[in-house]
């Protein structure tokens, strides 16, 4: 019987039928799996199945059928193959269309303006996931890069034992426009030896972080998700700072443009495009004092009272969505930097956030900060005296992810009233942190309506020396 089947497999018609049966079987198993997952008790699945978990499930199910396909076809359609499999459609015969423009060329020079990796985003990406209501803007060079600049896209992630945060960080990164072009370097600190430290160490969280990272690397090797994933788990406990430094150093071995995330920074879908724009616009090269860019913003802190509606109105009325400031500091919650900065400070950097800020300050360098955050910080919390979590210190009430129309943003610098002062002294700063009249986030506007709030915002804009600055391109 077995011999008969083996012999029959040589015949194309029987082979096709077998394949059809395999596909049918996959669909049945997938459906059973979806039902099973849907039935899992809520406690066991605190969050929705992440995109990666879905991919892992789908890939595991379809593994037998994709094993025979050539590696080039699976990697060239990394996005499309996921979508067609989950939607049950056919994978089509155009998988060799060469749409994989985002390959990262380790160590290569980037003399490829107008072609290859800097060209338009492949159309397979733009069909989008459930939440993206718009096509991502294409990554296009508006200026020529220095000939030896390696514009490979690399994200360094600093991780340890906070798996629930880490999973959200990966999921957000995965949804960010262009993420499939990125090599992800995950530097996981080792478990502590010291007994005192052991008490605060979440061994399960650490093991899950390592396992999840290795799953991502496995998926990437099969053309799913990121372009590549390098996991480096330290045997010894290096501490946050040393681990952060080695993460960034490893990323700079692959590229002259690096994005750095801690394990509690979730990117919005336009965050990578915002970082890349500093290179593609040529700004990083024409402004030698520009050392880095952050995705985070001091604007619109999270507040227990109902403020998000007013904050969203402020963003629209003040035209803030496409605006950034430059300031003399290095905000550590999600940042990008480039070779020049790293060459100047990398060797002597301790890995400490504040030291990087001081390096920027002492050299008269600048960092670009969007007025509306392109990421959020979900992890940093304040505590009561009793040790209970009190507030999310760096969490924003809203970010760019709260808005539509991001694809048309043309980033514009908002001139500072006095560039020698910290942004805290800017009149706009108080407004976007506290609202109109200084304490709107607390009480002043609590009994008033949105219409009144909008009038007050309009009055503020009208009173500016150049109200036309407060228009947004998106």
Residues found near ligand NAG in the complex (CB under 6 A): 109, 111, 147, 232, 246, 347-348, 418, 420-421
Q: Do 457 and 313 contact (CB within 8 A), yes or no?
A: yes
**Shortest CB 328 distance to ligand NAG, Å:** 11
Other CB atoms within a 10 A radius of the CB of residue 205 amount to 17
Pairwise CA distance, residues 379 & 366, whole Å: 26
**Shortest CB 241 distance to ligand NAG, Å:** 13
Which three-class secondary structure state does DSSP give residue 396?
Answer: strand
Dihedral sign computed on CA atoms, order 137, 142, 146, 148? positive
Pairwise CA distance, residues 198 & 284, whole Å: 43
Cβ-Cβ contacts under 8 Å for 218 (sequence gap 6 or more)? none
Give per-residue burial for 96-119: e unless 16+ CB within 10 Å, then b: eeebbbbbbbeeeebebbeeebbb
**Shortest CB 238 distance to ligand NAG, Å:** 8
Pairwise CA distance, residues 311 & 297, whole Å: 14
Cβ-Cβ contacts under 8 Å for 469 (sequence gap 6 or more)? 319, 414, 415
What the block records as the tokens of 367 is: 């960092």
Cβ proximity to ligand NAG, 419 vs 446, nearer residue: 419
Cβ proximity to ligand NAG, 147 vs 465, nearer residue: 147
Cβ proximity to ligand NAG, 420 vs 443, nearer residue: 420
**Shortest CB 421 distance to ligand NAG, Å:** 4
Cβ proximity to ligand NAG, 408 vs 421, nearer residue: 421
**Shortest CB 326 distance to ligand NAG, Å:** 15
Q: Which of 419, 259, 260 is nearest to 327 (CA)?
A: 419
Cβ proximity to ligand NAG, 242 vs 283, nearer residue: 242
Q: What are the CA-CA distances from residue 354 to residues 230, 252, 288 (Å)?
A: 27, 20, 21
**Shortest CB 386 distance to ligand NAG, Å:** 39
Dihedral sign computed on CA atoms, order 166, 169, 175, 177? negative
Q: Which of 334, 393, 397 is nearest to 367 (CA)?
A: 334
**Shortest CB 291 distance to ligand NAG, Å:** 14
Cβ proximity to ligand NAG, 142 vs 421, nearer residue: 421
Cβ proximity to ligand NAG, 248 vs 267, nearer residue: 248
**Shortest CB 435 distance to ligand NAG, Å:** 25
Cβ proximity to ligand NAG, 91 vs 262, nearer residue: 262
Q: Do 227 and 182 contact (CB within 8 A), yes or no?
A: yes
């Amino acid at each position: 019987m077995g011999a008969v089947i083996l012999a029959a497999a040589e015949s194309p018609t029987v082979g096709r039928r077998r394949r059809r049966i395999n596909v049918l079987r996959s669909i049945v198993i997938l459906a059973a799996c979806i039902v099973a997952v849907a039935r899992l008790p809520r406690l066991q699945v605190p969050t929705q199945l992440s995109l990666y978990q879905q991919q892992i499930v789908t890939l595991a199910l379809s593994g037998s059928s994709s094993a025979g396909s050539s590696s080039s076809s699976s990697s060239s359609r990394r996005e499309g193959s996921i979508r067609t499999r989950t939607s049950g459609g056919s994978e089509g015969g155009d998988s060799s269309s060469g749409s994989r423009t985002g390959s990262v060329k380790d160590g290569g020079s980037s003399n490829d303006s107008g072609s290859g990796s800097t060209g338009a985003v492949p159309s397979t990406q733009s069909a989008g996931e459930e939440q993206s209501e718009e096509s991502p803007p294409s990554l296009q060079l508006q200026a020529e890069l220095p000939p030896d600049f390696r514009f490979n896209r690399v994200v360094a992630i600093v991780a340890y034992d906070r798996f629930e945060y880490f999973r959200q960080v990966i999921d957000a990164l995965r949804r960010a426009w262009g993420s499939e072009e990125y090599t992800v370097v995950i530097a996981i600190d080792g478990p502590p030896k010291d007994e005192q430290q052991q008490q605060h160490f979440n061994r399960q969280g650490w093991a899950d972080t390592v396992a999840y990272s290795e799953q991502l690397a496995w998926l990437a090797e099969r053309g799913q998700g990121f372009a590549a994933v390098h996991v480096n788990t330290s045997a010894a406990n290096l501490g946050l700072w040393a681990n952060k430094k080695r993460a960034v150093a490893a990323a700079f071995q692959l590229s002259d443009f690096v994005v750095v995330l801690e394990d509690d920074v979730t990117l919005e879908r336009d965050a990578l495009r915002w970082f890349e724009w500093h290179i593609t616009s040529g700004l990083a090269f024409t402004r030698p004092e520009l050392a880095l860019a952050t995705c985070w913003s001091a604007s619109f802190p999270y507040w227990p009272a109902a403020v998000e509606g007013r904050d969203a109105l402020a963003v629209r009325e003040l035209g803030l969505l496409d605006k950034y400031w430059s300031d003399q500091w290095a905000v550590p919650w999600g940042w990008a930097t480039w070779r020049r900065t790293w060459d100047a400070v990398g060797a002597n950097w301790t890995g400490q956030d504040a030291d990087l800020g001081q390096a920027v300050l002492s050299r008269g360098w600048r960092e670009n900060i969007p007025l509306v955050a392109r990421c959020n910080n979900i992890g940093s919390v304040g505590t009561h005296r009793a040790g209970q979590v009190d507030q999310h210190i760096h969490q924003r009430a809203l970010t760019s992810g709260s808005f539509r129309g991001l694809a048309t943003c043309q980033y514009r610098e908002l001139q500072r009233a006095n560039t020698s002062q910290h942004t805290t002294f800017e009149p706009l700063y108080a407004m976007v942190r506290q609202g109109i009249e200084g304490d709107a986030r607390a009480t002043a506007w609590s009994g008033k309506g949105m219409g009144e709030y909008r009038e007050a915002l309009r009055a503020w804009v009208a009173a500016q020396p150049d109200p036309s600055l407060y228009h947004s391109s998106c």
